[in-house]
């Protein structure tokens, strides 16, 4: 059998797409291998969200192409198309983000560009999952929000929700394969709407919770503008839905938020935080922060720090603004100096570290329930689990515990990870 190795860059939606490609290939005459050296074909699933992500993928392609047949898929493939073909004349194929299902013909035909408009992705394929306990399901593709800095709407197309029946079938499959947790993915899951059945996001959560075997449902990302009180209440009221909301703030300055085209203010954002805290005591809120958007002054930046302090995020993903060709922000005047961006990045990192430490330390001595997901990457003799509100806890144990829930007493805490002992 022809061996294929898949390398994935980017977000969880790319992980899901890679699992789907692996499913499509596995159903055909291909063997997916975890050993790149033994593979004849290497598929590189790429991300375009920042220049750094593209640079890493480009150097990966450069190295792999020396002795492999390389196929570039995903967001950078969609963005660069001919540019990639010109840069790497030996490329076997380039596959856009609408065409993962065509991966077999990309390999078989070779030297073909396979792009948007040919076929929309088809879901009824059994994915070849990387994990055994927690499964991702993309419930909607694309994005209509056009935040001024962001390439995603250009490389992923218009927002479109999948039909609920297809999603439920996928959850049932996960349940029968022994999975315990499902994570719904979309750029803006709050606006999920299955046009055929009229079922919205709360409806999808309700229906999904009826499937036995799956004990936890998670989702991301929530756009603050679409996170209504009703939605927060329905999440709070559903026992299987995890009490963790990933709610990207980006900036705490109303002026910058407006330039970013985010459609909310710092006050609205903080009202969402208050509502979540009220409805889900003990729940977690995490965020994305973007520093150095064009025109961001020190005053704007201080406002971001202020909102972060008020919100008390459990964790933040913090990014330096990276201009993306074709987006509105790339053309804006007063791009912020690289050194200043770095300084701001470090400020935010420092603040978040303090906030996270305080939150995590308060867990020492408390009891939590975790789902064991696998061995810890650093201390291989310890097992790792996750709480309902997405805290990582490591405990002594063995691989036989994977996929089970345990009550654990937290004995130590660092910034992001806790240690604990099973309560017998």
Q: Which residues bind ligand SAH (CB under 6 A)?
A: 49-50, 149-150, 152, 187-188, 221, 223, 248, 250, 288, 290, 319, 321-322, 324
Q: Per-residue x/- marks for ligand SF4, 212-231, CB under 6 A?
A: -----------x--------
Answer for which of 6, 13, 39, 57 binds ligand F3S (CB under 6 A) is 13
Q: Using CA atoms, how far apart are residues 75 and 79, in angstroms rounded to an integer?
A: 6
> Per CB under 6 A, which of residues 163..202 are in contact with ligand SF4?
187-188
Applying CB under 6 A, the site for ligand F3S has a residue count of: 12
Q: Which is nearer to ligand SF4, 61 or 75 (CB)?
A: 75
Q: Distance between CA 237 and CA 217 in Å, rounded?
A: 13
How big is the site for ligand SF4, counted in residues (CB under 6 A)?
10
Binding part of the chain for ligand F3S, among 45-53, 65-73, 211-219, 246-254 by CB under 6 A, reads 45-53
Pick one of ligand SAH, ligand F3S, ligand SF4, none as the site partner of residue 153 (Cβ within 5 to 8 A by kind).
ligand SF4
Please say whether the dihedral angle defined by the alpha carbons of residues 172, 176, 177 and 182, taken in this order, is positive or negative: positive
Two tokens, residue 22: 């692996």
Structure tokens at 151: 């390439």
Output 57 or 393, the one with its CB closest to ligand F3S: 57
Residue 47 found at the interface with ligand SF4 (CB under 6 A) = no
Stretch that binds ligand F3S, among 41-49, 85-93, 219-227, 342-350 (CB under 6 A): 41-49
| 146 interacts with, out of ligand SAH, ligand SF4, ligand F3S, none, CB within 5 to 8 A per kind | ligand SF4
Collapse the DSSP code of 88 into the 3-class scheme (helix H, G, I; strand E, B; otherwise coil) and give the result: coil
Give the chain's length.
424
Give per-residue burial for 22-39: e unless 16+ CB within 10 Å, then b.
Answer: bbbbbeeebebbeeeeeb
> How much is the CA Rg of the chain, to the nearest whole Å?
22
Q: Which is nearer to ligand SF4, 275 or 328 (CB)?
A: 328
Paired with 392 in beta bridges are 386, 417
The Cα diameter of the chain in Å comes to 62
Kindly list the strands in the beta sheet with 41-46, ordered across the sheet, starting from the edge strand earlier in the chain.
30-32, 2-8, 41-46, 69-74, 93-95, 112-114
* Contact partner, 321, from ligand SAH, ligand SF4, ligand F3S, none, Cβ < 5-8 Å per class: ligand SAH
Residues 6+ apart with CB under 8 A from 36: 5, 7, 42, 64, 68
319 in Cβ contact with 50 (< 8 Å): yes
151 vs 395, beta carbon nearer ligand F3S: 151
| By CB under 6 A, residue 152 contacts ligand SF4 | yes
Nearest residue (CB) to ligand SAH, 269 versus 406:
269
Tokens of 171: 């959850």
Q: Are strands 405-413 and 417-422 parallel, antiparallel or unpaired?
A: antiparallel
Instruction: Please tell me whether residue 48 binds ligand F3S under the rule CB under 6 A.
Output: yes
Neighbours of 368 (CB within 10 A): 21
- 10 binding ligand F3S? (CB under 6 A): yes
The smaller minimum CB distance to ligand SAH, of residues 241 and 348, is found at 348
Nearer to ligand F3S, 58 or 395 (CB): 58
Closer residue to ligand SF4 in complex, CB, 13/43: 13
Phi, psi (deg, nearest 5) at residue 218: -130, 170
Binding residues vs ligand F3S (CB under 6 A): 10-11, 13-14, 47-49, 75, 151-152, 155-156
């Amino acid at each position: 059998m022809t061996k294929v190795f898949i390398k994935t860059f980017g977000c969880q939606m790319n992980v899901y797409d890679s699992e789907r490609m692996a499913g499509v290939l596995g159903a055909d005459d291909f063997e997916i291998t975890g050993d790149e050296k033994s593979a004849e074909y290497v598929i590189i699933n790429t991300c375009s969200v920042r220049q750094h992500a593209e640079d890493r993928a480009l150097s990966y392609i450069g190295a792999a192409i020396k002795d492999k047949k390389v196929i570039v898929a995903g967001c950078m493939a969609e963005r660069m198309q001919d540019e990639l073909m010109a840069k790497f004349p030996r490329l076997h194929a380039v596959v856009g983000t609408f065409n993962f299902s065509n991966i077999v013909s990309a390999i078989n035909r070779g030297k073909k560009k396979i792009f948007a408009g040919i076929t929309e992705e088809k879901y009824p394929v059994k994915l070849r999952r990387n994990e055994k306990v927690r499964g991702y399901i993309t419930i909607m593709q694309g994005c209509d929000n056009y935040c001024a800095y962001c390439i995603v709407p250009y490389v992923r197309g218009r927002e479109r929700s999948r039909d609920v029946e297809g999603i439920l079938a996928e959850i049932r499959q996960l349940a029968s394969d022994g999975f315990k947790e499902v994570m719904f993915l979309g750029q803006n899951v709050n606006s999920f709407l299955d046009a055929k059945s009229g079922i919205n996001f709360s409806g999808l959560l309700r229906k999904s919770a009826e499937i036995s075997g799956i004990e936890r449902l998670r989702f991301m990302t929530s756009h603050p503008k679409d996170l209504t009180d009703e939605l927060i209440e329905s999440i709070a009221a559903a026992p299987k839905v995890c009490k963790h909301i990933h709610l990207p703030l980006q900036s705490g300055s109303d002026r910058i938020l407006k330039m970013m085209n985010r459609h909310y203010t710092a006050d609205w954002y903080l009202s969402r935080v208050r509502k979540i805290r009220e409805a889900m005591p003990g729940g977690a809120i995490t965020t994305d922060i973007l520093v150095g958007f064009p025109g961001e002054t020190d005053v704007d930046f201080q406002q971001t720090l202020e909102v972060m302090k008020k919100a008390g995020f459990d964790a933040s993903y913090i990014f330096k603004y990276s201009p993306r060709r074709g987006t509105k922000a790339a053309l804006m005047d007063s791009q912020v100096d690289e050194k200043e961006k770095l300084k701001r990045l470090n400020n935010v990192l420092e603040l978040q570290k303090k906030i996270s430490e305080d939150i995590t330390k308060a867990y020492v001595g408390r009891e939590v329930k975790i789902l064991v997901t696998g061995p810890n990457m650093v201390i291989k003799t310890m097992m790792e689990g996750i709480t309902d509100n997405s805290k990582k806890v490591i405990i002594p144990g063995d691989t036989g515990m994977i996929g089970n829930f345990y009550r654990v007493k937290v004995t130590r805490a660092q910034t992001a990870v806790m240690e604990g002992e099973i309560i017998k």
